[in-house]
Every structure is written in structure tokens, then in C-alpha cells.
Structure 1
Amino acid sequence: MKVISVVGYKKTGKTTLVTRLVEKLSGKGKVGTVKQMCHHRFNPENTDTGKHFDAGAAAVAAITDGELVLVRRNPSLSKALDALADSGMDFAIVEGAKKSSLPKIVLGDLDNIDEVQNIVARLPARADWDIDTLAELVMQQDEWATLGLLIEQVKLDPRIKQAGGIGTFTGIVRQFSEGVETKALHFEKYEKVAEEAMKKICNDLMQREGVLDIRMHHRTGTIKQGEDIVYIVVAAAHRQELFTALTDALEMLKAEVPVWKKELTIEGDFWVHDVEK
């Protein structure tokens, strides 16, 4: 899922730009949006669902004739994006999130602009923007992937009609390794080379009899204990072919994809010299 954020002060045209991007990108795939509402309450206490929530429900689903809204506790931008990815979105456009690390289109002038991370475009407020160029800019952004998204993508492949099963692997950050507590792992990868290497692994394994589709994703940056690192999804005609391909995909990823790992432990930080590929 490609993600972009549109930021700027009030009356700079953020909502207008978001809606125009949604209209354009909807011709290329499914688009989800996130609106940072800050101090507003989406689920007021005087509604039935608000009363459910205030009574202690961990989540409340509200269904109308044309809408489904899920209200959950402990909100965060990353959880919102994960939810969109899990539902199979190809694009996510965030209105706001100036302090995030997401790629950003900035409208108008911002104070402390040097403190805003990952600006990919600066545009005048309320202007006649080139939406075609901005849509292409969105297409160039890194993927936001979840296990749910990869499964949805596999299920949309026409070859899924021949599948007898889908198998997945999720690698997570181990809290304890040889008696030492790991606070987090930091991963860096040779971006284009790593992505091409993963595509080659998937394509090679799909030449096997009965292996219908394979998707994989390796996260980068700092990942805390218990969080996800790697996703692999395999669809195959039979379980024997599925489990063999799933195991081989993981071993090939570790051996052939240029990803470097730094361990952040309670005893100190160090790079693992073997490539975690």
C-alpha cells in the first residue's frame, strides 16, 4: 500500500487536495484515507455506540445501510494504516500527521519547516495543482505492508481458484536471545536491490509445480521486541508444496536479500556481520 500525507495550516486546501487525489488514484486501485481529528470525538457519549464504548467495550462496530465503522481503543496512526492495509487498500492518503515520518505534501508555509520529516513536495495553498504528477509521486513511495494485505493480494490473484491452501510466516523480534534481552532490532536494506532480490525469489519459487503465488515483505528501521519483521505468504495447490515453498522462501530471503541488522540490547548495540537477507 502506497501512503502519502497532506499537511498544512487551516484553509490551505488540504481536504480539497485529498479528495482530488482520491478521485485520481481510485482509477488505479482501492484508496483509503485517514483524517487526524485530534480533540474531536467520533463516537459521542449520547449515542448508543458511544454508550457501549463508555461501558468498557474494547471495540464497537456500527453498521448502517451503506457504512461500517469500527471504533477501537488505543488509537494511533500506524494502527489506522494497518487497518486500511489489512482491508486490501492499494493507497492511503492521510490528512494531517505533520509530526509523523510519512512522506508528505506540504501546502503553503509552515513554521519550523526544517523539523518536518520526509517532505516529498511543497505546493502553494489552494492552487491549481497538477494532480497527475502528484498521483505519480504517490506511486513512487515505499510500500506499507501487513500480513493481511499480502493475504488479500494473493486471494485476488486469478490463480487462487487452483489453490488448496494459503500458508504464512511472520518473523518477530525475539525478546531474549542466548540469555540477553533485546530491546529492538534496526534493519537497513539496499532498497532497489533488496526488492528485486525478493521478486526474483518469488518468481523462482512460482516455477515449481503446484506453487501458485508468493508474496514477501521485510520491514526496515527500528522494530521493537514482539513487533513484526518479515511476512511471507504462499498459495499452493497442496499442503506439501505449500510448506516446502514457505520454508525455502524464508531461507532464500535470509541468504540472498541484502538486509543488515543491528541488535539493540541491554548490554549494548552492535551490527550483526552476517547479512540478514
Structure 2
Amino acid sequence: MKVISVVGYKKSGKTALVSALVRQLSGFGTVGTVKHMGELRLNPEETDTGRHFDAGADMVIGITGTELVSFARDSDLEDALDMLCDRGIDFAVVEGFKKSNLPKIALGDVEGVSNVVIRIPEEVDPHEELTASLVGIALAQPDRYTLEALIKKIRKNPKIRKAGAIGTFSGIVRELAGDMKTSRLEFEKYEPEASKVLDRIREEIKQKEGILEVLIHHKTGVIEAGEDIVYIVIASAHRTELFPALSEAIERVKAEAPIWKKEFTEIEEFWVHDKEHA
């Protein structure tokens, strides 16, 4: 899923621009949106779902004839994006969230924002030429995946009719290793070589007997203890072919892909490659 954010002050034209982007991006795939609503309560106490929520439910889902709405506690922007990704959505357009690390289209002189990919005037007319250029920016963004999204993607492969098994591997940040406590890891990819290596590993494992599809996604940036680092999803004709392929895939990713890891512990921080070769 590719993600782009539109930020600006009130009445700067954010919603009009988001709507124009949604219309254009829907021609390339499915689109979901996330909007910062401030302190507005969407599930008021006088409604039945509001009463459920106030009684202590962690999640409440309301269903009508044409809509499904969910309300959850302790959720944030990352949770919302993961929900869209889990549904197999191709594009997410976020309105607001100036302090996020998302790539941003900034309207006017809005300040205090990072990762601005383009800045355009406030209340600009979202005409077709402008929107087309912004769509190009959205299409150029890196892909975001969850494990569920990759499983959905592999199930859409026509070869899935020959599959008898789907196996997954999830690598996570290990917090405790002996007496050492790790708070987070930071990953950097040497691109475009890293993507080429991952593609080569995928294609070579797909050539093995009984392997129908292989998907690999390795995250970059800072990843906290307990969070996911890498996903591998493989579809095979039989389970006996599946597990050796999963094992080979992760070992090759670790050995061959130019992806560097920095570890942050209670007492030090270091690039793992440097320490291993010291």
C-alpha cells in the first residue's frame, strides 16, 4: 500500500485536494483515507454503540445496510494504516497528522512538518493537471505491507488454485538476549541493490519444485522491541516443499541483501555489521 498525506491549516483546501486525489487514484487501485478529527466524538454516548463503548468494550462495530464503522480504544495513525493495509487497500490518503513521518503534500506556509515532498498554494484549484502530478508522487512512494496484506496478495495469484499450503515467516525485534536488553533496531537499505537482491531471491526460490509464489518484505527505519521486521510468505503445492523454502528464504535475505542493522541496547548503540567484523 502506498501512503501520502495532505497537510495544511484549517480552510486551506485539504479536503478538496484529498477528494481529487481519491478520484484519480481510484483509477489505479483501491483507495482508503484517514482523517484527523481532533477531539470530536464520532460515537456519542446517546447512541447504542456509544453505550457499548462507554460500558467498557475495547472495540465496537456498527453495521448498516451499506456501511460498517468500527470504534476502538488506544488506536493511532499506525493502527489505522495497518487496518487499511490488512484489507488489501492499494493507496491510503491521509488528511492531517502534521507531526507524522509520512510523505506530505503541504498546503501553503504550514509549519512544523517534516518529509514534505511538495508544497503547493492554499485553496489551490485541484485541476486535472495538478492532480495528475500529485498522483505521480503518490505512485512513487514506497510500499507499506502487513503480513495479512501479503497473504491477501498471494491468494490473488491465479496459481493459488494449485496450492495446498501457505506458510509465513515473521522476524521481530528480540528484546532480551541473555543479559542484554534491546530497545529498538534501525535498518538501512542500500538501494536499488537491496530490492534487486530480494527480487532475485524470490525468483530463484520460485523455481524450486512445488513452489508457486514467494513474497518478501523487509522494513526500514527504526523498529521498536517486539515489532515486526521482515515478512516472508510462500505458497506451495505441498507442505513438505514449504518449510525448506521458508528457511532458505530468510537465511538468504540475512546473508545476501545489503540491509544494515543498528542495535540500541541499555548500554550502547552499534552497527551490527561493524561489531561482527571488528
Q: Do they superpose with TM above 0.5?
A: yes
Q: 1:132 — aligned with what? A: 132
SS of residue paired to 2:192: helix
Give SS of 2:263's match: strand
Matched residues in 2 for 1:141 and 1:255: separation?
Answer: 27
Deviation of residue 128 (structure 1)? 3.0
Deviation per residue, 1:199-226 (Å, 9 max, x gap): 1111111112211111111111111111
* Aligned residue number for residue 43 of structure 1: 43
* Cα distance in 1, alignment partners of residues 237 and 275 from structure 2: 33
Aligned pairs for 1:58-207 within 5 A: 58-110=58-110, 113=111, 115-129=112-126, 130-207=130-207
Q: CA-to-partner distance for each residue in 1:232-269, whole Å, 9 max, x for gaps?
A: 11111111111111111101111111111111111211
- Please tell me whether the aligned partners of residues 261 and 275 of structure 1 are also in contact (alpha carbons under 8 angstroms): no
Report which stretch shifted further, 186-195 or 258-267: 186-195
Q: How big is the alpha-carbon RMSD for the aligned residues of Structure 1 and Structure 2?
A: 1.4
Unpaired stretches in structure 1, ≥5 consecutive residues = none
TM-score under structure 2 length normalisation = 0.95
Structure 2 partner of 1:17: 17
1:177-206 Cα shifts (integer Å, max 9, x gaps): 132111111111113211121111111111
Residue 4 (structure 1) aligns with: 4
Instruction: Output the amino acid matched with 2:171.
Output: G
Q: Deviation at 1:117?
A: 0.8
Contact conserved, 1:4 with 1:105, CA < 8 A, in 2?
A: yes
1:274 offset after TM fit, Å? Answer: 6.5
For residue 57 of structure 1, report the CA deviation from its aligned partner. 0.6
Corresponding position: 1:255 with 2:255:
yes
User: Aligned residue pairs: how many?
Assistant: 273
CA offset at residue 109 of structure 1?
1.8
In 1, distance between residues paired with 2:50 and 2:196?
Answer: 48
Alignment partners' CA distance in 2, 1:148 and 1:99 = 27
Identify the range of structure 1 (91-100 vs 202-211) with the bigger mean alpha-carbon deviation.
202-211
What TM-score comes out, normalization by structure 1 length? 0.95
* Aligned partners of 1:188 and 1:220 also within 8 Å: yes
> Mean alpha-carbon deviation: is it higher for 76-85 or for 62-71?
62-71
Note the C-alpha offset of 1:275: 10
Task: Please state if 1:236 is matched with 2:236.
Answer: yes
Q: Distance in 2 between matches of 1:275 and 1:261?
A: 11
The alignment partner of 1:273 has SS state of helix
**Against the structure 1 CA distance between its residues 148 and 32, is the aligned structure 2 distance closer, same or farther, given a 3 Å change threshold?**
same
Q: Deviations over 1:97-129 (max 9, x none)?
A: 11111000011221xx3x411000111122234
Query: Match for 2:58: what amino acid?
Result: A
Tell me how far apart the structure 2 counterparts of residues 128 and 45 of structure 1 sit (CA, whole Å): 39
